[in-house]
């Protein structure tokens, strides 16, 4: 989230699209009801289903899943056509004025540089014209035909309301009503917020779904302001934290990158990470990359990371592919190329697409280790449960080691919420049986492996033998020790670079925040963006002062938010070119002639002059990007592509199937279904009574929503002879499930390009373990293909067939 949950109360228009906040985030949704009750805010819901969020919305518009880009490009076009643009913001705070290279273009649904065999683009033409001074060329009048604004105008011109209706199935009048309500927020004193979640990410064009709304929010002037922003609601309690700490194949902590093998050494790695400003005087904060990287290496390997060995650059693994994401590793597993796998609090049998492939792949492992507070379907994947898990146990040669862990109530530490608040919690209960904390388990695995390497030697033991592990009790590092290591400390005494007589930090002391990091090995920090979380002032994540001066919703003294306790990202954009708030009633920070101050930590150097330094300090341009340059694999502008399984062909370019650069494995292509065989558009989602596959273990939640079901319209039920509460079979090219039928008015057929598209809704919370009735969930059916940029599977749009049936047989 750019903003905080508590900030949503400041909004005038809440748009829930690509999410279902009332259902999946009820207590965060409270702030929507606050905005409605106290500001007179309006709520719009755009969704294939009339959801619980829609039940309290002021306006609901249906949309076919997987067509959000067409809808939002249509809204951008509407805003441009009707002069509903926050012009001063758009001109000064986006790259609308930047001139794009002549080579760049878009034709027949593809951008320049497409290579069909590689399913990839040569993106070299997707960039700005750079002037002789080394800076990007701009035309602040927006008259230049090759400026981003004019290219954007042309790009969205095909998304007329009629085209939106054809693609999305949203009736034209409903689309126009939504567009009109959104466009009103181009006023500097009207702010719209976007609340989205997996309804946007879980598509082969997921990243671009989100980007399209971000672009709309920029031209409406709604980023960086109170009650605005792009707010990813996020799923798990610490999914934000695990992303920040970098537990993803391609990341180091703090959004640094794991090197690729093309980055043969540290100088090469750093050569593309200079982040020179693209406009004069811009901050381009990533210029500090080396400080963050070196400090991380020092946290990992301490004294073994030296300037001489490039701070142990070679200790890091180097990637030969963009990422060993979960789809790739299961593809490799299926090919017999993986021997062992760890699932720490994760249940891939139910959570990953194409369950048949997942189970087959796990069956090819030599060993599987699960660490979980609960019995999971993954740790029991080899167990036969009749129709619910129809496996041949004896033939599965995988050894499974199931380790019992503690749960939240029995452990201490911090969790990062979607608003980037890092909150500390304390243990309250004793663990059951012999359950152990994950820190202890990870410590044990590490110490035992290190001991084996010490005794026996083996393959490149250095990174293991030299891993910094100097905890008071090495058997189990404490949360406090780890938090301090994440924050970072001075290894040697730090003096002021401009005045060496001034001592900034004594050796061994904790750093105040990441501004003190150095690239010479004199500082360490496990995750630079978290620096400041636990410094010499103490544990800032445990702060509990809930005062909120002038009720802005900032709560600056409640816990700690990254970065630097900043609550609203890009908050400098809440003020105009002179540093005065666009909306004085919703000031965040203000320029007083010499410095920035206000209710939040300024997202700019406190003395940076408003006319000189742009608000988007992480970008080399200092402004935000309507044109993404080469940073997105599938295009610098978002274009509509159908899901890989679609009920109607791509209206704009019928020959293109799915996202043209999304990675597909050959074996999976064979398992994509088509509309003739699988005519219904399915989607998967959460219900408010349950959390993923956890709460089915809880008898209370199991009682509130006991049994797996699918939702269909009354029209489809009638057509197929399906009765309310009766059993149905739903199948895709990849699998078949049985469920109870909820026949509802909340799902209606959508008219798309002259064809009635029926939606089948499949909630995800059931399996064969736990207190609730046994069931299947959607992922026996979902396709094994991910988003073109980050490989998040396309869970939200796929094809199925459906028929009445009898109850499953299971044990």
Partner 1 sequence: MNMELSRRSFLKVAGAGVAGTTLGSMGFGDAEAAVAAHVRPFKLATTTETRNTCTYCSVACGILIYSKGDVRKGETAVITHIEGDADHPTNRGTLCPKGAALKDFVHAPTRLKYPMIRKAGTDKFERASWDQALDRIARLMKDDRDANFIAKNEKGVPVNRWTTVGFLAASATSNETAYATYKVVRSAGIVAFDNQARV
Partner 2 sequence: MMDSPRTAVSNPPIQPMDSNLGERDLIRRSATASLPKPERQLTPVAKLIDVSKCIGCKACQSACIEWNDTHPAVGENVGVYTNPHDLSENMFTLMRFTEWVNPETDNLEWLIRKDGCMHCSDPGCLKACPAPGAIVQYSNGIVDFVHENCIGCGYCVKGCPFNIPRISKTDRRAYKCTLCSDRVAVGQGPACAKACPTQAIVFGTKEDMKKHADERIADLKSRGYANAGLYDPPGVGGTHVMYVLHHNDKPHIYADLPDQPKISAVVQSWKGVTKYAGLAVMGLAAAGSILHGILGKPNRVTDEDEEGAEKLTSNPSATDPGADGHRPEERV
Residues within the interface to partner 2 (CB under 8 A): 22-23, 26-27, 29-30, 33, 36-37, 40, 50, 52-56, 58, 60, 688-689, 699-709, 723-726, 740-746, 771-773
Residues 6 or more apart whose Cβ sits within 8 Å of residue 720? 802, 803, 804
Kindly state whether residue 397 participates in binding partner 1, applying the rule CB under 8 A. yes
The least CB distance from residue 423 to partner 1, in Å, is 5
Q: How far apart are CA 374 and CA 146, in angstroms?
A: 57
* Residue 674 near which of partner 2, partner 1, none (CB within 5-8 Å, type-dependent): none
> Are the C-beta atoms of residues 705 and 694 closer than 8 Å to each other?
no
The least CB distance from residue 774 to partner 2, in Å, is 11
Kindly state whether residue 393 participates in binding partner 1, applying the rule CB under 8 A. yes
The only residue of 50, 285, 446, 727 in contact with partner 1, by rule CB under 8 A:
446
* Residue 33 near which of partner 2, partner 1, none (CB within 5-8 Å, type-dependent): partner 2
* Residue 383 near which of partner 2, partner 1, none (CB within 5-8 Å, type-dependent): partner 1
The only residue of 129, 142, 445, 564 in contact with partner 1, by rule CB under 8 A:
445
CB of 112 or CB of 249, closer to partner 1: 249
The only residue of 122, 375, 519, 715 in contact with partner 1, by rule CB under 8 A:
375
> Are the C-beta atoms of residues 620 and 282 closer than 8 Å to each other?
yes
* Residue 315 near which of partner 1, partner 2, none (CB within 5-8 Å, type-dependent): partner 1
The binding track of 15-54 with respect to partner 1, each residue x by CB under 8 A or -, is ---------xxxxx-x------------------------
The least CB distance from residue 744 to partner 2, in Å, is 6
Name residue, tokens 């004193």: 189
> Are the C-beta atoms of residues 486 and 525 closer than 8 Å to each other?
yes
Q: How far apart are CA 81 and CA 153, in angstroms?
A: 9
The binding track of 482-501 with respect to partner 1, each residue x by CB under 8 A or -, is xx-xx---------------
Q: How far apart are CA 213 and CA 44, in angstroms?
A: 14
Q: Which of residues 692-751 bind partner 1 (CB under 8 A)?
A: 694-695, 697-701, 704
The least CB distance from residue 338 to partner 1, in Å, is 6
The least CB distance from residue 297 to partner 1, in Å, is 11
Q: Which of residues 549-568 bind partner 1 (CB under 8 A)?
A: 555, 558
* Residue 243 near which of partner 1, partner 2, none (CB within 5-8 Å, type-dependent): partner 1
Kindly state whether residue 255 participates in binding partner 1, applying the rule CB under 8 A. no
Distance of CA 211 to the CA centre of its chain: 12
Nearest to 11 by CA among 225, 234, 233: 225
The least CB distance from residue 737 to partner 2, in Å, is 14
The least CB distance from residue 776 to partner 1, in Å, is 18
Q: What burial class does residue 582 get, using C-beta atoms within 10 Å of its C-beta: 0-12 exposed, 13-18 middle, 19+ buried?
A: buried
Q: How far apart are CA 457 and CA 465, in angstroms?
A: 10
The only residue of 399, 592, 612, 677 in contact with partner 1, by rule CB under 8 A:
399
* Residue 320 near which of partner 1, partner 2, none (CB within 5-8 Å, type-dependent): partner 1
The backbone torsions φ and ψ at residue 355, rounded to the nearest 5 degrees and listed phi first, read: -55, -35
Distances (CA, A) of 50 to 7, 59, 294, 773: 26, 11, 50, 26
* Residue 735 near which of partner 2, partner 1, none (CB within 5-8 Å, type-dependent): none
The only residue of 320, 470, 499, 550 in contact with partner 1, by rule CB under 8 A:
320
Name residue, tokens 């891939």: 348
Selected range binding partner 1 among 111-119, 176-184, 480-488, 495-503, rule: CB under 8 A: 480-488
The least CB distance from residue 485 to partner 1, in Å, is 7
Q: How far apart are CA 294 and CA 595, in angstroms?
A: 31
Q: Residue 312: which region, alpha, beta or left (left: phi > 0; alpha: psi -120 to 50)? A: left
* Residue 415 near which of partner 2, partner 1, none (CB within 5-8 Å, type-dependent): partner 1
The least CB distance from residue 29 to partner 2, in Å, is 6
Q: How far apart are CA 23 and CA 32, in angstroms?
A: 13
Q: How far apart are CA 172 and CA 185, in angstroms?
A: 20
Nearest to 349 by CA among 321, 372, 323, 322: 372
Q: How far apart are CA 594 and CA 609, in angstroms?
A: 8
How many Å is the maximal CA-CA distance in the chain?
Answer: 85
The least CB distance from residue 368 to partner 1, in Å, is 9
CB of 180 or CB of 520, closer to partner 2: 180
Kindly state whether residue 442 participates in binding partner 1, applying the rule CB under 8 A. yes
Kindly state whether residue 5 participates in binding partner 1, applying the rule CB under 8 A. yes
The only residue of 415, 510, 575, 682 in contact with partner 1, by rule CB under 8 A:
415
Q: Which of residues 259-288 bind partner 1 (CB under 8 A)?
A: 261, 264
Selected range binding partner 1 among 57-65, 464-472, 584-592, 666-674, rule: CB under 8 A: 464-472
> Residue 738 pairs with which residues in a beta bridge?
729
Selected range binding partner 1 among 89-97, 494-502, 686-694, 753-761, rule: CB under 8 A: 686-694
Q: How far apart are CA 433 and CA 418, in angstroms?
A: 33
Name residue, tokens 């919690």: 425
Selected range binding partner 1 among 180-188, 478-486, 489-497, 672-680, rule: CB under 8 A: 478-486
CB of 121 or CB of 709, closer to partner 2: 709
The least CB distance from residue 96 to partner 2, in Å, is 36
Kindly state whether residue 412 participates in binding partner 1, applying the rule CB under 8 A. yes
In 3-state terms, what secondary structure has residue 614? coil
Kindly state whether residue 303 participates in binding partner 1, applying the rule CB under 8 A. no
In 3-state terms, what secondary structure has residue 196? strand
> Residue 757 pairs with which residues in a beta bridge?
750
The least CB distance from residue 751 to partner 2, in Å, is 16
Q: Is the dihedral of CA 521, 289, 206, 423 positive or negative?
A: positive
Kindly state whether residue 234 participates in binding partner 1, applying the rule CB under 8 A. yes
The only residue of 62, 277, 488, 526 in contact with partner 1, by rule CB under 8 A:
526
Nearest to 638 by CA among 125, 109, 19: 109
CB of 638 or CB of 775, closer to partner 2: 775
Distances (CA, A) of 11 to 38, 308, 333: 10, 53, 47
* Residue 37 near which of partner 1, partner 2, none (CB within 5-8 Å, type-dependent): partner 2
**CA atoms lying within 13 Å on the CB side of residue 336:** 1
* Residue 270 near which of partner 2, partner 1, none (CB within 5-8 Å, type-dependent): none
Q: How far apart are CA 173 and CA 274, in angstroms?
A: 49
CB of 415 or CB of 743, closer to partner 2: 743
In 3-state terms, what secondary structure has residue 308? coil
Strand 192-196 versus strand 230-232 pairing type: parallel
* Residue 374 near which of partner 1, partner 2, none (CB within 5-8 Å, type-dependent): partner 1
**CA atoms lying within 13 Å on the CB side of residue 791:** 18
Nearest to 213 by CA among 190, 231, 240, 189: 231
């Amino acid at each position: 989230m750019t903003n905080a949950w508590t900030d949503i109360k400041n909004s005038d228009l809440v748009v829930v699209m690509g999410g279902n906040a009332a259902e999946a985030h009820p207590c965060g949704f409270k702030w929507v009801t606050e905005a409605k009750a106290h500001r007179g805010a309006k709520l719009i819901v755009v969704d294939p289903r009339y959801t619980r969020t829609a039940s309290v919305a002021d306006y609901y518009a249906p949309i076919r899943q997987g067509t959000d880009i067409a809808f939002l490009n249509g809204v951008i076009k509407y805003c441009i056509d009707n002069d509903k643009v926050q012009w001063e913001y758009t001109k000064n705070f986006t790259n609308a004025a930047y001139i794009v290279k002549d080579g760049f273009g878009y034709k027949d649904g593809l951008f320049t540089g497409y290579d069909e065999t590689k399913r990839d683009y040569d993106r070299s033409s997707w960039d700005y014209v750079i002037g002789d001074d080394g800076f990007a060329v701009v035309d602040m009048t927006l008259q230049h035909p090759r400026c981003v604004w004019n290219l954007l105008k042309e790009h969205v011109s095909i998304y007329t309301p009629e085209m939106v209706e054809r693609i999305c199935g949203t009736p034209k009048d409903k689309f126009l009503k939504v567009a009109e309500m959104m466009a009103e927020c181009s006023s500097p004193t009207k702010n719209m917020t976007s609340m989205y979640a997996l309804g946007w990410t879980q598509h082969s064009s997921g990243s671009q779904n989100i980007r399209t709304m971000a672009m709309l929010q920029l031209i409406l002037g709604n980023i960086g302001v109170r009650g605005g922003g792009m707010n990813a609601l996020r799923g798990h309690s610490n999914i934000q934290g695990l992303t920040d700490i970098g537990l993803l194949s391609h990341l180091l902590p703090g959004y640094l990158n794991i090197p690729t093998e093309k980055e043969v050494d540290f100088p090469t790695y750093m050569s593309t990470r200079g982040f020179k400003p693209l406009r004069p005087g811009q901050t381009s904060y990533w210029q500090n990359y080396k400080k963050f990287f070196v400090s991380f290496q020092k946290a990992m390997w301490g004294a073994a990371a030296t300037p001489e060995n490039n701070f142990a650059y070679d200790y890091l693994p180097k990637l030969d592919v963009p990422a060993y994401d979960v789809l790739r590793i299961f593809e490799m597993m299926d090919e017999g190329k993986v021997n062992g796998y760890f699932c720490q609090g994760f249940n891939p049998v139910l959570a990953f697409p194409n369950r048949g492939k997942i189970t087959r792949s796990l069956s090819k492992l030599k060993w599987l280790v699960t660490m979980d507070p609960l019995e999971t379907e993954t740790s029991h994947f080899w167990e036969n449960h009749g129709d619910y898990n129809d496996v041949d146990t004896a033939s599965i040669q995988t050894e499974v080691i199931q380790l019992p862990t503690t749960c939240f109530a029995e452990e201490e530490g911090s969790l990062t919420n979607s608003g980037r608040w890092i909150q500390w919690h304390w243990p309250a209960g004793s663990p059951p049986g012999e359950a152990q904390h994950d820190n202890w388990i990870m410590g044990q695995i590490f110490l035992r492996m290190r001991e084996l390497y010490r005794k026996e030697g083996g393959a490149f033991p250095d990174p293991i033998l030299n891993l910094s592990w100097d905890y008071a009790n090495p058997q189990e590092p404490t949360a406090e020790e780890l938090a301090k290591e994440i924050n970072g400390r001075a290894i040697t005494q730090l003096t002021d670079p401009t005045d060496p007589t001034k001592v900034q930090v004594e050796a061994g002391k904790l750093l105040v925040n990441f501004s003190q990091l150095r690239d010479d090995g004199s500082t360490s920090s496990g995750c630079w963006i978290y620096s400041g979380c636990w410094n010499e002032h103490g544990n800032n994540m445990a702060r509990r002062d809930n005062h909120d001066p002038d009720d802005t919703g900032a709560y600056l003294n409640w816990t700690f938010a990254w970065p630097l306790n900043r609550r609203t990202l890009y908050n400098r954009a809440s003020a105009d070119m002179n540093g005065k708030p666009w909306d004085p009633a919703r000031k965040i920070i203000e320029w007083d002639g010499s410095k920035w101050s206000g209710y939040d930590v300024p997202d700019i150097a406190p003395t940076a002059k408003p006319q000189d330094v742009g608000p988007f300090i992480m970008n080399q341009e200092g402004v935000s990007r309507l044109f993404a340059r080469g940073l997105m694999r599938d295009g610098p502008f978002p274009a509509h592509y159908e899901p890989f399984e679609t009920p109607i062909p791509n209206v704009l370019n019928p020959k293109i199937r799915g996202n043209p650069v999304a990675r597909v494995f050959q074996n999976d292509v064979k398992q994509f279904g088509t509309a003739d065989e699988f005519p219904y558009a399915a989607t998967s989602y959460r219900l408010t009574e349950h959390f993923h596959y956890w709460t089915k273990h809880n008898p209370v939640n199991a009682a509130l929503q006991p049994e797996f079901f699918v939702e269909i319209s009354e029209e489809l039920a009638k057509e197929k002879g399906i009765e309310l509460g009766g059993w149905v079979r739903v199948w895709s090219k990849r699998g078949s499930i049985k469920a109870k039928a909820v026949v509802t008015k909340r799902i209606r057929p959508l008219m798309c390009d002259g064809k009635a598209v029926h939606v089948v809704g499949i909630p995800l919370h059931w399996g064969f373990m736990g207190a609730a009735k046994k069931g299947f969930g959607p992922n026996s059916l979902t396709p094994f293909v991910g988003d073109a940029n980050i490989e998040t599977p396309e869970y939200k749009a796929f094809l199925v067939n459906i028929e009445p049936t009898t109850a499953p047989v299971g044990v």
